[in-house]
Structure 1
Amino acid sequence: MMFNRIKLLLVVLTLLASQWGFAQIDLKRLRAKPDTSYVEAPKSPVSNINQVIVPIPKLGLEVDYWKHWTKLGLNLNQAYFNKHWNTGGVNSIAILGTGWHKSEYNKNNLNFTTELDLRYGRIQNDFLDREANTLSKKNIDRIFWDNKFAYKLSQAWALYFSFTFESQFDAGNTYGRDSLNREFITGRESNFMAPGYFTESFGLEYKPDNTFSLRLGTGTARQTLVRDEEVTRRFPTRYGMEEGKTFRNDLAFQLTANLDRNLSKNLHLKSRYNMFADYTDLGDPAHRLDAVLTAKVTSLVNVSLTGIIVYNSLEQPGVQVSQALALGILYSLPR
């Protein structure tokens, strides 16, 4: 019994001794060393691609220094009263055509603006009554062409030179009635180029924004022509002409104000005021005011109120006034 216990103790001691020996071994030496040889990697096929230069086409971008606006209008007015209408009234029909174009060039401090305004209209009263024997008459007639070169001195001020032409399309007649109450033309008092005005002006322009401008033309010349023999014969001294002459030249101070502004989304006001004061008679300048108030009903239909006030003692001794209210079509470009 004792012998078996001694034998078991020796076995335990042997196991402890072997375990201690294993603990003294360096485990790092038992690790497998990696293979240090290497194989050269194959070259990438990308390196064999030839470089290709792709041409970039020119876009052809250019700066456009021009702007253009065009408006074409046609207005029609008509009134009718039947034979039982007893509060007064005259059957009438009127038609008015308008054309307006403006081009503007801006580059650095240089500006060029050209504006063409054409208006012509006719009216006939009692057009349904053949016994009335009435003739159609023009109720508005205007040719206006303005050209201006300007060089900016500051944000609001510029030196300018302008050239303007004004006349009318058709004859302005006087009317009478014969013994049978038929209306007929008694003569002409104006016509195309009778008068015709050419105006050259040089001075300063004040333009704080794109809706308003004021020109102070200290050096202004105006040529007046009357190229109609009948007008010259009937009114030999009208338009400041000397008797027998058809040409007149004046040197003057000119003030011109332009307003072209939207008062609201669908309401637009365009007006032009011109004062022409002859240096030989500064106390009696000529004045002209043109104003058009346009209300847009739809993109094409509009209502316009037009007013003209003219004072020119060389034409008439008093103030000339014209007013018209019309419903019509107005086509604008760009849309």
Structure 2
Amino acid sequence: MFTLKTKNSKNKTLMKIQKILFICLISSFTFATSNLFAQDSTAVKPQGPWKKEGKIGANLSNVGLVNWAGGGTSSYSFGGTFIYKLSRETDNAITRIHTDMAYGMINQSESTFPMKKTDDQLIIGFDYSYKWKKKFLFTAAIDFRSQFDKGYEYKTEDIPDPSDPSKTIKQETETQISAFMAPGYLNANIGITYTPAKWIYATYSPVANRMTFVADTVFSEKYGLNAGEKFRDQTGMNFKLGIKKEIVKNVALTSTYNMFAQYDRLGEWVVNWDLLIDMKVNNWLSCNFGTQLIYDPDVQVNKDDNTTGQAIQFKHALNIGIVYTLHQKKDKKEKKK
């Protein structure tokens, strides 16, 4: 009985801490929003215009095989990306809003399930940084992540041959493992940002909140929730390291490394690392190579050895296609004037 009371007391204390930290988060975002839209008559200069950056990309590939002795499968794939950023800097603060979307599919005509998803990403973020000292800022940030479409896992299994039960044949199976808002993540952080140079920054957030949404309870346990639950709230700390630099002419490197740990589980870190190398061929042709590494101890991954458990998730994509840069031409003309 004594042990049970101790656990309940500990849980109540953690709940109180979470409520206090959540109030701090709401208060900070309220302060950031009020500063963003308020008119300050004592400012040295008025708020500058919003700086706009955007890219729309499309890529397509096709492989056709007819009587090909080397074997293989005819296929075609297509994909699209949309990246848009807004930023504004004043004497006292920096405001940024960004959207990153991607979707891609491949068609393999000889497969049991010919249409398969190859890319699916939806990211929307906002951050407000108040200038404290030369290289230090107070930062409040919020980030939403999910996907547009259902996600499936494909496996090839041996089944009895209908024409000869003593033999087996290969059959592809399809199992749904995700969907829009299953999962969905909403991260809110308050901390201090250090910027030693324009191309690199590091943010430590002692107040961080990570919310997990699972719209379809079929996937609740897969993404760290209890059976039947649709929402999970975690309070802890967050560390973020960002790099954006042109390493050589027309070749830019962007890297974002993020770590989150719940306060009562500090030994278990959730890691998300995005890396993108963008190579500009000319004004309308682009090539980029991107990777994403995720480790979440609460997510149950179906591994290649047919077991389920914790695992490092890794994705890479090489895209060559047409890209349209928004606002670029207009900005150049304005500079000439």
The answer to whether the superposition gives a TM-score over 0.5 is: yes
User: Is the 8 Å Cα contact of residues 134 and 183 (structure 1) preserved in structure 2?
Assistant: no
**Offset of 1:227 from its aligned partner?**
0.4
Which of 69, 84, 97 is matched with 1:114 structurally? 97
2:190 and 2:277 map into 1 onto residues whose CA distance is 30
Q: CA 1:327–1:183 in 2, change beyond 3 Å: closer, same or farther?
A: farther
1:187 and 1:269 map into 2 onto residues whose CA distance is 36
Mapping of residues 45-124 of structure 1, within 5 Å: 64-86=48-70, 88-124=71-107
AA of the residue aligned to 2:116: K
Which of 227, 240, 243 is matched with 1:259 structurally? 243
Task: Mark the runs of 5 or more structure 2 residues left unpaired by the alignment.
Answer: 1-45, 163-168, 302-309, 329-337
Of 201-210 and 158-167, more deviation after overlay is shown by: 201-210
2:67 and 2:320 map into 1 onto residues whose CA distance is 26
Mapping of residues 20-39 of structure 1, within 5 Å: none
User: Is the 8 Å Cα contact of residues 218 and 228 (structure 2) preserved in structure 1?
Assistant: no
User: Is the 8 Å Cα contact of residues 172 and 188 (structure 1) preserved in structure 2?
Assistant: yes
Task: Mark the runs of 5 or more structure 1 residues left unpaired by the alignment.
Answer: 1-61
Q: Which residue of 2 aligns with 1:228?
A: 216
User: Is the 8 Å Cα contact of residues 199 and 245 (structure 2) preserved in structure 1?
Assistant: yes
2:318 and 2:64 map into 1 onto residues whose CA distance is 17
2:180 and 2:56 map into 1 onto residues whose CA distance is 22
User: Is the 8 Å Cα contact of residues 287 and 319 (structure 2) preserved in structure 1?
Assistant: yes
1:268 and 1:332 map into 2 onto residues whose CA distance is 15
Q: Which residue of 2 aligns with 1:155?
A: 134
**Offset of 1:165 from its aligned partner?**
0.6
**Offset of 1:168 from its aligned partner?**
0.6
**Offset of 1:289 from its aligned partner?**
1.1
Which of 195, 213, 232 is matched with 2:183 structurally? 195
Instruction: Give the number of aligned pairs.
Output: 265
User: Is the 8 Å Cα contact of residues 155 and 208 (structure 1) preserved in structure 2?
Assistant: no
User: Is the 8 Å Cα contact of residues 96 and 120 (structure 1) preserved in structure 2?
Assistant: yes
Q: CA 1:227–1:107 in 2, change beyond 3 Å: closer, same or farther?
A: same
After superposition, what is the alpha-carbon deviation per residue over 1:93-114, rounded to whole angstroms, capped at 9, x for unaligned?
2211100111111111111111
SS of 2:264 mapped into structure 1? coil
**Offset of 1:258 from its aligned partner?**
1.7
User: Is the 8 Å Cα contact of residues 258 and 272 (structure 1) preserved in structure 2?
Assistant: yes
**Offset of 1:69 from its aligned partner?**
0.6
SS of 1:280 mapped into structure 2? helix
TM-score, normalised to structure 1's length?
0.73
**Offset of 1:183 from its aligned partner?**
7.2
RMSD, aligned α-carbons: 2.2
**Offset of 1:285 from its aligned partner?**
0.3
Which of 206, 218, 237 is matched with 2:206 structurally? 218
2:172 and 2:217 map into 1 onto residues whose CA distance is 20
User: Is the 8 Å Cα contact of residues 157 and 207 (structure 1) preserved in structure 2?
Assistant: yes
1:98 and 1:333 map into 2 onto residues whose CA distance is 13
Q: Which residue of 1 aligns with 2:114?
A: 135
Of 139-148 and 202-211, more deviation after overlay is shown by: 202-211
Q: Which residue of 2 aligns with 1:280?
A: 264
SS of 1:241 mapped into structure 2? coil
User: Is the 8 Å Cα contact of residues 276 and 291 (structure 2) preserved in structure 1?
Assistant: yes
2:194 and 2:86 map into 1 onto residues whose CA distance is 19
SS of 2:223 mapped into structure 1? helix
In the alignment, structure 1 residue 240 sits paired with structure 2 residue 224: yes
User: Is the 8 Å Cα contact of residues 213 and 232 (structure 2) preserved in structure 1?
Assistant: yes
AA of the residue aligned to 1:152: K
Q: Which residue of 1 aligns with 2:233?
A: 249
User: Is the 8 Å Cα contact of residues 135 and 183 (structure 1) preserved in structure 2?
Assistant: no
TM-score, normalised to structure 2's length?
0.73
2:170 and 2:126 map into 1 onto residues whose CA distance is 45
